[in-house]
Chains A and B, each alone.
Chain A
Amino acid sequence: MERISTICPFCGCGCGMHLMVESGRIIGVEPSPGHPVNKGMLCAKGWGAYEFVHSPDRLTHPLIRKDGQLQESTWDEALELICGRLTGISARYGPDALGFLCSAKVTNEENYLFMKMARAAFKTNNIDHCARL
């Protein structure tokens, strides 16, 4: 069994924990004993923080709406479509016809890159997230 260090995803406290991994699956969590925020404790949400990871409902393929239905596609097709449509809308209506919502749940690196994409690639400051909610 491996112990991988991570941070609980369920609130802004940021408790330190280890994910216990066996044959590619997470089988439990363990609070980090020395962590200054939680000092070896977790709340009920933290103890359950890994269960959704292996949920059968996870999205596993890019989907594109065709004939009104979301249908499985490939990364190539999905990303080419997005790039083409965003560029097209921007050329026709101006960059501020685009909006970007980043996330209070993903990493700093991802939020930074997303904000860079909105501003540098698409030249719009229409970027926000659900911090106010």
Chain B
Amino acid sequence: MTNSICEFEDADLFLVTGSNTTAQHPLIGSRIINAVERGAKLILIDPREIPLAAFAELHLRQNIGTDIAVLNGLMNVIIEENLYDRQFVADRTEGFEALKAAVSRYTPAVVEMITGISAADLTRAARMYARADKAMLAYAMGITQHITGTDNVKACANIAMLTGHVGRPSTGVNPLRGQNNVQGACDMGGLPGVFSGYQPVSDEAARKKFERAWGVEGLPAQAGLTLGGMLEAGRKGALKALYVMGENPRISDPNLGSVDLALSSLDLLIVQDIFMSETAALADVVLPAACFAEKGGTYTNTERRVQLTQRAVTAPGQARADWEIIADLCRRCGLEAPYTHPGQIMEEIRSVTPSYGGITHERLSKTYGLQWPCPNREHPGTAFLHSAQFTRGKGSFQPSDFTPQGEATDQDFPFTLTTGRIYCQFHTGTMSRRVDLLEREAPEPLVEIHPEDAAKLGIRKNDLVEVSSRRGSIRLKADVTTRVPRKVLFTTFHFHEAQVNLLTNPACDRTSGIPELKECAAAIRRCP
């Protein structure tokens, strides 16, 4: 996120797309609602009638997978009507002419044809966003989990730069990160191409620095495989061993049938977790880990706030903190790991990671966390990014074209299936499904279908239905509701009883490797 969560309170306008914010980020969702009640405006771009829709001045329900056309259309109106921020574009950006040319084809009439959003609504939304003083753009997996995910993200950045809606309090572009430490896992170099602090492995100076710090030689310079790439290599026999710490790819990944094939083709599968997850059940070695309440350490939230937690209770049985397990294993494998406390690991992190340079457990214990970049011990942290310039100096517009990318529907699979999350469950459910309160509220998986489609197929609320795609099928109950548009089905991936990722499309965005979880062709029928 370029801004902080509390800045949502003071925005004048929100443009929310691809984020079911009240379900996924409840405390951000409630800030948006409070701001709207105080007079701020909300524009929602989402195919489904999510709870935020009730608070939106405008709800644009685009056809699934047409986000780029919507955003290009908005930008076209903004440029055509001279509503863009000339000063900002001149001083802080480059590539405006190319953007202008690229979006000029996306007239409101054309966009209406592609996206199903009326020309009038599109124009109104463009004017509202451009004219707002403090406008917050927020998006989540609805933007990124597409084959065109990277282009979608760039289009979001383009529209914010075009209107100068970046780099000020309550004004910016805010990707909302889902799990509690997704941000931190990325910051720490849990990615194939970068060390901690996004220092590329291909950069010789970076490699030398880490070799010196770690007392090793010959760190590999080639970026490694993404998760999808590793699974593919597993299926082909090129990857022989996989060590999984605290993840459950057998529920969360697309096209589960082929995930199982990859995992069972391995010579060695190691899973370190707090529960016997579906993935752990396939493992050759399972290591019991301590959970968040049984160890100390830091997590980085979606606003880049690094926060310290303390140990509250002891871990059950012989379970050990993940860092203790890894340190022990490193020592057995000949790598020095003299840590007796996570604070010492943070000292090492800050010595090699400029953006975390000023972050110590000691400082964190006296504050509500520090937001990186925090380069030195005197630095107070950074509430919003890009105030004077972008990371690369000038912001460069990178336009892209709309191309229909999703799996085509046909006679056999006439529906578009999209997936997401609900308020009362978390990710693959290994933790949240063991919380009584949450199980009471959301005990079973449901698939949403529009009443007209349901009537044609003789499906009533709570009927058991079978949903299938070209890859598999699941059974679950139907929820007949206008939350979804016609010809669209929606369900979540929290429930092992109906693993929707048996159905989803593993095609990925070429740049980021994010799978297309938001769109696949599907069929539905009532179970006899």
Contacts and interface: CB of A to CB of B under 8 A. Distances in A.
Contacts of B321: 110
Interface stretch (B105-113, B114-122, B429-437): B429-437
B302 to A, nearest CB: 4
A12 B25 contact: yes
B314 interface: yes
B214 interface: yes
Given A75-B318, A97-B238, A108-B181, A7 B192 contact: no
Contact of B249 (A57, A127, A130): A130
B112 to A, nearest CB: 32
Contacts of A62: 285-288, 318
Contacts of A93: 240
Contacts of B243: 82, 86, 98-101
Interface in B177-206: 177-193, 195-196, 201
Contacts, number: 429
A13 B227 contact: no
B239 A99 contact: yes
Contact of A123 (B144, B220, B284): B220
Contacts of B348: 112
Nearest to A6: B309
B247 A103 contact: yes
A23 to B, nearest CB: 10
Given A37-B301, A114-B190, A106 B276 contact: no
Interface string B78-92: 000000000000000
Interface centre among A54, A78, A79, A101 (most CB of B within 10 A): A101
Contacts of B183: 12
A75 B309 CA distance: 26
Given A37-B6, A128-B225, A60 B180 contact: no
Interface in B291-337: 291-295, 297-303, 305-307, 309-314, 316-323, 325-330, 332-335, 337
A116 B351 CA distance: 14
Interface in B201-245: 201, 210, 214, 216, 218-220, 222-227, 230, 233-234, 238-245
A101 B242 contact: yes
B30 interface: yes
B28 interface: yes
A44 B515 contact: no
A64 B224 contact: no
Contact of B285 (A8, A38, A81, A96): A81
Interface in A58-79: 58-65, 70, 75, 78-79
Contacts of B270: 82
Given A10-B426, A37-B27, A83-B329, A101 B275 contact: no
Interface string A3-17: 011111111111110
B436 A12 contact: no
Interface in A105-133: 105-117, 119-133
Interface string A27-64: 00000101111100111111111111111011111111
Interface in B2-41: 4-6, 24-28, 30
B441 interface: yes
B176 interface: yes
B226 A128 contact: yes
Contact of A60 (B186, B316, B345): B316
Contacts of A96: 224-225, 238-239
Contact of B252 (A75, A114, A130): A130
B287 A78 contact: yes
Nearest to A123: B220
A53 B185 contact: no
A59 B328 contact: no
B513 interface: yes
B517 interface: yes
B448 interface: no
18 contacts: A2-B312, A26-B312, A36-B5, A51-B436, A57-B434, A59-B273, A70-B286, A75-B318, A82-B243, A86-B268, A97-B239, A98-B239, A98-B242, A101-B249, A106-B181, A129-B185, A129-B247, A131-B177
